Amino acid sequence: MLLNQSKLNEIWKTVLINIKNKNIFEDSIFKTYINDSKLIDINFDNIATIEVPWELHKNFFNNYLSEFEAEISNLLDVDINLKIIVSGSEELTSINYNNTTQLTKDTINEIFKTANHISKFYTFENFIQGSSNEKPYAAAYGSAISNEPNFYNPIFIYGNSGLGKTHLLHAICNYLQDNRSEVTFLYIDGNDLIAELINATKNRTVNKIIEQLSHVNYLLIDDIQHLAKTNDTQEVFFNLYNKIIDNNGQIILTSDVYPAELKSMNNRLISRFTSGLSVCIDPPEFSTAVSILNKKISLSKQKLNITDEAITYIAQNYSNDVRQLEGAFNDILFNSILFKADIIDLEFVKQALKEKPKKVVKLDNKGLTPKIIKREVCNYYNITINQIESKSRTLNISNPRKIAIYLCRELLNMPYEKIGKEFGNRDHSTIMSNYNNFVKLMNENSEYKQTIENLKEILNS
């Protein structure tokens, strides 16, 4: 339960009136011992804290705890335990707070030590756009420049790791810092958020924190999927979330999966997450991967003389994940310094990357299309194109469909959305879950791995 002080006052007033009406205590006792008590907190363990002026009062209350507990439990319809503390005692300082605290950047950093570490490099300018990421880019940029509280809320960016989700969140923060300094924001990673909330619960500062943070203009949480791990923090977060939305704060979340696929996440949260704008981020298509590499080259302090052929090779082989693409680039950079290379050509690149596993199996992609993949998979399984594109869920159709989807993704680097168009206009989240599902199947069953190898060979020939 998270209640502000006026609500708490109201509750306590009612409890005291009810107690008074029961005539358990004489008027003089009431005046001396009870009247000056104050309800100051009800925490998640349903412990209500009563503040009293002196030790004397505390002793009195402790003698009659069950009467007061029965009354407040009855009123709130939950079992409440009372804790009595004396004004000015140390116990109190961790609970008592000032509701009207102005939320500033310093306050945010004080509240959450792990918040707001933003990389200067992750800006909108340094983010290369392509059809794989133009929607999340537009959503992120739109939210950063918008003064309107009614911009999509929340914005939920999802996709596999290494595709620029964190970069976009940092870009929003950098933009706000540089252009809208009056605006407050809280950027925090999902894991850090859990740790902070657990800590706050232990220290009994949760109410205070929620009250203060509820005034933040932007709440950005990276990898919100981690929150699914703990029930209690979901509850706390739910409160914070609602308060921020009520105060017209903008919420932006990232995750590795679509909201509905957040296993163990409370349904109330999932439905909140889907109520705004959900956008998928996909692996960069070839041309975007090339642009990302060129950007890296231009930003590099080292002057690099690299051939187009070499860039093409890196983009073709490592673009399933931009982090891998960067890793490949860094290896080449390192090698070029080590061997004092004047020119970085295809041979040099192949040599530098020879031990680096590739995610994408390189094919002569020029001739390969989704149609060919569908046709070959259909031939392999003896089903028709109509069947593979249909809504049928029988295994002899749905498994080949998953395989074809997997191949479109792996061999052609196609965004989920585009793949969806090839398979009976399915939406990107369905395709994404088909893809992930097949990857899982393949890891569990080596026969599928063999099938993929066979099909790749057919497609390659």
- Which residues of this protein are in contact with Mg ion, per CB under 5 A? 165-166
Taking phi over 0 as left and psi of -120 to 50 as alpha, with beta for the rest, 116 belongs to left
Q: Which does 323 bind (CB under 5 to 8 A by kind): ligand ADP, Mg ion, none?
A: ligand ADP
| Size of site (CB under 6 A) for ligand ADP | 16
User: Contact with ligand ADP (CB under 6 A): which of 59, 74, 98, 161?
Assistant: 161
Q: Which does 142 bind (CB under 5 to 8 A by kind): Mg ion, ligand ADP, none?
A: none
List the beta bridge partners of residue 51: 38, 85
Closer to ligand ADP by CB, 163 or 414: give it: 163
CB-based closest residue to ligand ADP: 164
User: Contact with ligand ADP (CB under 6 A): which of 292, 293, 403, 414?
Assistant: 292
Q: Is residue 226 close enough to count as binding ligand ADP by CB under 6 A?
A: no
Q: Is residue 112 close enough to count as binding ligand ADP by CB under 6 A?
A: no
Q: Is residue 326 close enough to count as binding ligand ADP by CB under 6 A?
A: yes
Closest contact distance (angstroms) between CB of 127 and ligand ADP is 5
Which token pair is 448? Answer: 């599928």
Of 22-30, 34-42, 156-164, 175-183: span binding ligand ADP (CB under 6 A): 156-164
Q: In what order do the strands lie in the sheet with 38-42?
A: 38-42, 47-52, 81-86
User: Contact with ligand ADP (CB under 6 A): which of 143, 153, 166, 225?
Assistant: 166
List the beta bridge partners of residue 85: 51
Closer to ligand ADP by CB, 163 or 279: give it: 163
Closer to Mg ion by CB, 165 or 226: give it: 165
Residue with token string 């507990």: 69
User: Contact with ligand ADP (CB under 6 A): which of 58, 165, 374, 402?
Assistant: 165
By CB neighbour count within 10 A (0-12 exposed, 13-18 middle, 19+ buried), where does 92 fall? middle
Which token pair is 42? Answer: 């009800």
Of 98-106, 263-271, 319-327, 417-425: span binding ligand ADP (CB under 6 A): 319-327
Q: Is residue 373 close enough to count as binding ligand ADP by CB under 6 A?
A: no
Of 160-168, 334-342, 383-391, 420-428: span binding ligand ADP (CB under 6 A): 160-168
Rounded distance between C-alpha atoms, residue 246 and residue 172, angstroms: 21
Rounded distance between C-alpha atoms, residue 164 and residue 143, angstroms: 17
User: Phi and psi dihedrals of 306, rounded to 5?
Assistant: -120, 135
User: Contact with ligand ADP (CB under 6 A): which of 128, 140, 186, 253?
Assistant: 128
Q: Give the residues lining the site for ligand ADP (CB under 6 A).
A: 122, 126-128, 133, 161-167, 292, 322-323, 326
